[in-house]
Amino acid sequence: MQDVRDNEVAGVDLAGVDLDVLEEIQRRVLWLAVRIVDAANRERDTGDGVKVGGHQASSASLVTAMTALWFAHLNAEDRVSVKPHASPVFHAIKYLLGDLDRSYLTTLRARGGLQSYPSRTKDPDDVDFSTGSVGLGAAAPLFAAAVRRYVDAHWRDDSAAKARFVALLGDAELDEGNVWEAIADPATQGLGNVMWVVDFNRQSLDRVVPGVRIAQWRGQFEAAGWHVVEVKYGRRLREAPAAVRGWIDAMPNEHYQALFGLTGAKLRETFLDGAPAEVVAAVADVPDDEFAGLVQDLGGHDLVAMLEAYAQCDAVTDRPSVIFAYTVKGHGLPIAGNPRNHSALLTGEQVDALRGALRVPGDEWARFDPATPEGILCNQRRESLRRTPVPGALGVSVPAATGVRTSRPVSTQDAFGKILVDLSRAEEVAPYLVTTAPDVATSTNLAGFINRTGVFAPAEQRAWSVDPLLKWTEGPTGQHIELGISEMNLFLLLGQLGLAGDLHGQPLLPVGTVYDPFVCRGLDAFIYSVYSGARFVVAGTPSGVTLAPEGGAHQSTITASIGLELPNVTYVEPAYATALDWLLCDALGRIAAGPAETTTAVPAEDGAYYFRLTTRPLDQTPFEQARERLGDAVLRRQVLAGAYLLHRSEVDGPAVQLAASGAVLPEALAAARELEEEGIAAHVVDVTSPDRLYSAWQRTLRQGVRTATTPSEAGALRAAFPVRAPIVTVHDAASHALAWLGSAFGVPSVPLGVDQFGQSGTIAELYELHDLLPGSIVNAALAALALG
């Protein structure tokens, strides 16, 4: 037995590490990872003719790195992101550790089973970071570390348990631009507890990559202040003559990749093709049956080399680290290095041969016997990695409203800033509020909050100039995290702030702001964060063509549809300050209460809250009149449910309903007055949350579909719309976002909105261009009545 206790190998203290035990565990991990995919494809009848799929080769390349991590390196506080295609390896490891029931091993990509890629919310075992959207899973631990730094600075002392944040990523993920945005952001600098492990197998989905870009990537990481480690060779090649390594270094990538799958004399011939005499002499005494073990000895498949690299990264505590682990795709499998092995599946004969080569026991799915050295280590590691459950709720009460006061026309963006300032004075809630923005904090009205709470920095920063309007005080007690101009980073950070309870044991109340048109720029990260179960508030402001002089580049049209259609997101678009106050406090209250908290007003909601706001000041009188008519209790309930009757017409005549959302309410009210002058009863409904209203309608439809009964009318719709009459929808967004209201009532509907790119001009000019002026709304109402 090769026991290296009490020794140091390659500068790493391996006391207590039995390499033979780790090697045996590594073989079992490889077998289970391969067999999980194999069983899903060859033993499951899907009945639809579509293959299940999987990634046996892409899993195999990370078996060594992951075995070394989980069985010899990680602690309970550490958090790891696993590259999407290595999910079978992750599940195999969790199974051997006793954290996954055996019944799941044959359920890869099945309903209710193991997910195609690691998922925090859908997998049965404990996944730290969802992966699948390339590049985002790599960056998530970086922002999680930034959140941990924030949490430690505010609530913990030096005695608190430390955490490391690890990302396992494929080398092709470095082609994604969001990776470089993340490492360059000021908010992620100096995070010495971050380690990325790049599976440097030099293959993409379609081919062997012709050129190796290691020098370019090393330079980019080092320029961003990262510590870089290359793990190119295993122990045999490190001990081989320098000429052998030099020849491999000089060899084109395609040439080296071609060595895999070859054996014996053919392997030697291919390796030495074009080699200088000193290389031929250096390997002359290596037997043919040992030749593959030498020239294919890459560091990413050497347990000692990987443990050495992990230790080197731990020793560097002032900046993040990245390891380039040289591997071959499909290592240990007959498809190793094949250019088309990305989604290739082993045949039954190949699986049987692999079973024998890896010395798999009769029960091929068995864990290690607890009495064996391998079983003992698995149990020890399970205990070492056991985590203490954390509370899901924050345990504080967010006020139902701040009572924001407005004595003049005010925009929702302005009111948003005032409400946050008021919340920063709420003693119970204030410590947990944390805001962030991609260099737009002042222009989205976070200045008041920042003036009160300061900007977060790990150490006190000296202020060399004082702005009389914005006191940009930076230090460990600050509660605003400023980002560079990257909307991807905004949503990645918001996502990790929204998971602070799960990952760090300290729930927070995260609030972010972004220019609304640039929600689209960060959409991939937005989707990733809510898919992961993160809970936060984001305000997109200013929105729509109402930001008239800015022109089309800064005018958003489809963002309302994104909010409406994106799962795990509740989209709201209030027009009036008090409605915004109620909605924002309600959203923060739900986040504070923990996931799936139900109130009497609306059903349980998990996820994020997207507020679409405007810079257009609106007269608050119409809302106050509705408040006087309905009373606070009824009005608040309807505002939270998604809509309320802003103006009830008293005209005795044909009826039409004008449903509007956000900044265009004044035009809808003006149109109602014109219609009433013509003897038409025009009721105006303020749709505060198209999302909640649509969801209420869909719930009744689905209930009817599933029970084969006539769907009932959703209560939120019934309460806000006084009559069944033709509808005109008005929205500073794509017209289809509210067009469904006609179907909900089964009445004629004319949707008005913004269905073209905007341009510069005054609000009146652009509203005229997009048929949002009162006259156009009147004409639309007459058309709807004619259709009825």
Q: What is the pLDDT of residues 340-357, one digit of tens each?
A: 677 788 889 999 999 999
- 686 forms bridges with which residues in the sheet? 644, 660
- pLDDT per residue over 590-603, tens digit each? 999 987 644 444 44
Beta pairing class for 227-231 and 194-200: unpaired
Secondary structure letter of residue 410 according to DSSP? B
Reduced to 3 states (helix: H, G, I; strand: E, B; else coil), residue 456 is strand
- 655 forms bridges with which residues in the sheet? 681
| CATH 3.40.50.920 domain position(s) in the chain | 642-787
Judge whether residue 51 has pLDDT over 90. Answer: no
Reduced to 3 states (helix: H, G, I; strand: E, B; else coil), residue 661 is strand
Mean pLDDT, rounded, of the chain: 91
pTM (2 d.p.):
0.94
The DSSP line for 113-160 is: S--SS--TTT-SS--SS---STTHHHHHHHHHHHHHHHHHHHH--TTS
Fold classification of 642-787 (topology level): Rossmann fold (3.40.50)
- pLDDT per residue over 161-204, tens digit each? 899 999 999 998 999 999 999 999 999 999 999 999 999 987 65
Say if CB 753 and CB 731 are below 8 A apart: yes
Q: At what angle do helices 523-531 and 487-497 cross, to 10 degrees?
A: 10
Apex 70 CA angle, 69 and 71, nearest 5: 100
Judge whether residue 781 has pLDDT over 80. Answer: yes
Quick count: other Cβ atoms within 10 Å of Cβ 65?
29
* pLDDT confidence bin for 8, thresholds 50/70/90: very low
Say if CB 144 and CB 152 are below 8 A apart: no
- pLDDT per residue over 476-506, tens digit each? 999 999 999 999 999 999 999 999 999 999 9
The CATH class that applies to domain 8-234+298-327+343-384 reads alpha beta
* pLDDT confidence bin for 337, thresholds 50/70/90: confident
Quick count: other Cβ atoms within 10 Å of Cβ 375?
16
Q: Which two tokens stand for residue 226?
A: 């990262």
* pLDDT confidence bin for 81, thresholds 50/70/90: very high
Segment 445-467 mean pLDDT: 87
Segment 277-287 mean pLDDT: 91
Judge whether residue 4 has pLDDT over 80. Answer: no
Judge whether residue 252 has pLDDT over 70. Answer: yes
- Dihedral of alpha carbons 341, 342, 344, 350, sign: positive
- In this structure, whether the domain defined by 412-612 belongs to CATH 3.40.50.970 is answered with yes
Res 598: pLDDT: 42
Residue that has been written with the tokens 């990523």 in this structure: 169
Residue that has been written with the tokens 């509740």 in this structure: 570
The DSSP line for 594-642 is: -TT---SSS----SEEEEE-----B-SHHHHHHHHHH-HHHHHHHHHHT
Res 606: pLDDT: 76
Secondary structure letter of residue 711 according to DSSP? P
Judge whether residue 217 has pLDDT over 70. Answer: yes
- For 434, phi and psi rounded to 5 degrees? -145, 130
| Cα distance between residue 203 and residue 207, in whole Å | 6
| Cα distance between residue 164 and residue 503, in whole Å | 11
Say if CB 773 and CB 767 are below 8 A apart: yes
| Cα distance between residue 557 and residue 541, in whole Å | 12
Q: Which two tokens stand for residue 695?
A: 């969801």
Say if CB 51 and CB 362 are below 8 A apart: no
Quick count: other Cβ atoms within 10 Å of Cβ 523?
16
Quick count: other Cβ atoms within 10 Å of Cβ 510?
28
- 610 forms bridges with which residues in the sheet? 538, 571
Res 1: pLDDT: 27
Quick count: other Cβ atoms within 10 Å of Cβ 452?
15
Query: Containing H/E element for 304?
Result: helix 303-315
| Cα distance between residue 187 and residue 142, in whole Å | 10
- pLDDT per residue over 101-144, tens digit each? 999 999 999 999 999 999 999 999 999 999 988 899 999 999 99
Q: Which two tokens stand for residue 401?
A: 């409203």
- 292 forms bridges with which residues in the sheet? none
Quick count: other Cβ atoms within 10 Å of Cβ 186?
13
Res 468: pLDDT: 67
Give the CA count within 13 Å in the CB-facing half-sphere of 593.
Answer: 17
Judge whether residue 9 has pLDDT over 60. Answer: no
Query: Containing H/E element for 572?
Result: strand 569-572
Spatial neighbors of 152 by CB under 8 A, at least 6 apart, are 160
- Nearest CA-CA partner of 479 in 509, 507, 454: 454
* pLDDT confidence bin for 338, thresholds 50/70/90: confident
Query: Backbone dihedral region of 261: left (phi > 0), alpha (psi from -120 to 50 degrees) or beta?
Result: left
Q: At what angle do helices 63-72 and 303-315 cross, to 10 degrees?
A: 60
Judge whether residue 87 has pLDDT over 90. Answer: yes
Determine the distance from the C-alpha atom of residue 263 to the mean position of all C-alpha atoms in its chain, rounded to a whole number.
Answer: 44
Res 601: pLDDT: 42
**What one-letter code names the amino acid at 509?**
L
Segment 299-324 mean pLDDT: 96
| Intra-chain end-to-end CA distance of the chain, in Å | 87
| CATH 3.40.50.970 domain position(s) in the chain | 8-234+298-327+343-384, 412-612
| Cα distance between residue 609 and residue 511, in whole Å | 9
Res 6: pLDDT: 32
Percentage of the chain modeled with pLDDT above 70: 95
| Cα distance between residue 260 and residue 331, in whole Å | 9
Range scoring the smallest mean pLDDT among 36-50, 626-640, 660-674, 763-777: 36-50
Reduced to 3 states (helix: H, G, I; strand: E, B; else coil), residue 588 is helix
Cα 99 to Cα 124, 308, 368, 387: the distances in Å are 9, 27, 14, 12
* pLDDT confidence bin for 381, thresholds 50/70/90: very high
